[in-house]
Every structure is written in C-alpha cells, then in structure tokens.
Amino acid sequence: ATDILGEHDGKPFLGPTNYIVVDFKDLFDLSRLRAVDTSLLKCYSLLSWQWCLKHAPEVAFLDPQVVTVTNLQNDRQGMVNYIYDTLWSRRDKEYIMCAYNQYAHWILLVITPKWSTCHYLNSRIDKNAYDWTPIQLAIDEAWAQYVQRGGLRKTGHDTLIHKKDFPVKQQIGDQCGFHVCHNMRLLYREKVKTLAEFEAMMNTYYATVMM
C-alpha cells in the first residue's frame, strides 16, 4: 500500500459523501515540515470542523478540494454554485473559512457575512507574484446571488469587501500550509465578535511574532 483512504459524509463541507486519499509520501513531507498537500489540508479542515461542532458552532468551512484553481478553469459555475450554497445554508455563521491553493501556494480565505468582508490571510505577501482576481470574481458572483436572496450582510454593504494580503506572519521556506492551519486555528479558538477585534487580534499577533 502507498496511501491511506478515508471517507466523510456531507455534513462538514455541505456536499455528497466524499473520499480523501493521503499518500505516505505526503505524511513523510509533513513530518519533515515540508509542503502540505491538499489532502492533508482537507484532513485538518475536517478536524477543525469536528472541534468547532462542539466548541465554536459559529464557524463553517469550504472544501479545499472543491474551491480550487482547477475547478475555476474547468467547472467555474459549479464552484460558484457550491460557494453560494454554502453561504446560504451557513448564513448564521460568523466565519466561513477555506484553505485555498493557487500558484502552488496556500492562503486562508475567511468570509464573514455579517461584515460583508473576505480576508485573504497570506503568509507570503508579494503583489507582483500573486493575483487573486480569479477567486475574488468567483466569490463575488456567489455573494451576489446570496445578497439577492436576502442573506445576512452588513447594513448598506451589499458588495463584498476583499481585504487581500491582510498582514499575518510571513513564512520561511515552503511552509505556507502550516501557516494556513495555524491562522485557521487561531481564528476559530478566539471568540472575537467585531471586525475591529478580528483585525486587532491579527495585527497584534503579527507585530508580536515579527519582533
């Protein structure tokens, strides 16, 4: 055997029963703190969902195997529909998080409907290297359908605000996947209630770790 096969139902990510295949090579890379594969980010998202189910029910997750560059290119409408369906069915949630990979680089997307805001937590900020426009447009299209149906958002802010490259700790080497997991855990374990608290927490942590 060269891999491990896992299965989950539709509760964590709002979808059909699905499978996860974790290659032993990916586990070796994980033990050496190397690049993290999509299957491992999905495993971490599932573990986070399990924890949040008991301790932070206000948090929801998107499937990192569905919200992908490949689906943007090959099944964009299907991906937009998936994001919209999640927004609508999880409209009572504080945060909707998604580990997203583009240019072989992981970032954490944090959609907060009540603030009409999407934060891009990127551990390698380089405006010349990364263009998040394709995923922004897909999220905006899903958000427009959500607003049209009457979904919760900030009063007077029907358009989603995208805060790209919001300052977080910057990575060393190819550890972007670990930073996504850390930022995800930091957010769902902290009980922040306002946008100001959220950004102050991230700024304070960022300033502390960079000193």
Q: What is the pLDDT of residues 93-108, one digit of tens each?
A: 989 999 999 888 999 9
What does CATH list as the number for 36-210? 3.40.395.10
Assess contact for 66 and 31: CB atoms under 8 A. no
The whole-angstrom distance between residue 1's C-alpha and the CA centroid of its chain comes to 31
pTM confidence score: 0.86
Q: What is the pLDDT of residues 138-194, one digit of tens each?
A: 999 999 999 999 999 999 999 999 998 777 778 777 788 888 998 899 888 876 667
Q: What is the pLDDT of residue 52?
A: 94
pLDDT greater than 70 at residue 32:
no
3-state SS string over the chain?
CCEEEEEECCCCCCCCCEEEEEEHHHHHHHHCCCCCCHHHHHHHHHHHHHHHHHHCCCEEECCCCCCCHHHHHHCHHHHHHHHHHHHHHCCCCCEEEEEEEECCEEEEEEEEHHHCEEEEECCCCCCCCCCCHHHHHHHHHHHHHHHHCCCCCCCCCCCCEEEEEECCCCCCCCCHHHHHHHHHHHHHHCCCCCHHHHHHHHHHHHHHHHC
- Apex CA 193: angle with CA 167 and CA 157, to 5°? 75
Question: Which range among 58-72, 124-138, 160-174 shows the weakest confidence by mean pLDDT?
Answer: 160-174
pLDDT greater than 60 at residue 34:
yes
Q: What is the pLDDT of residue 31?
A: 63
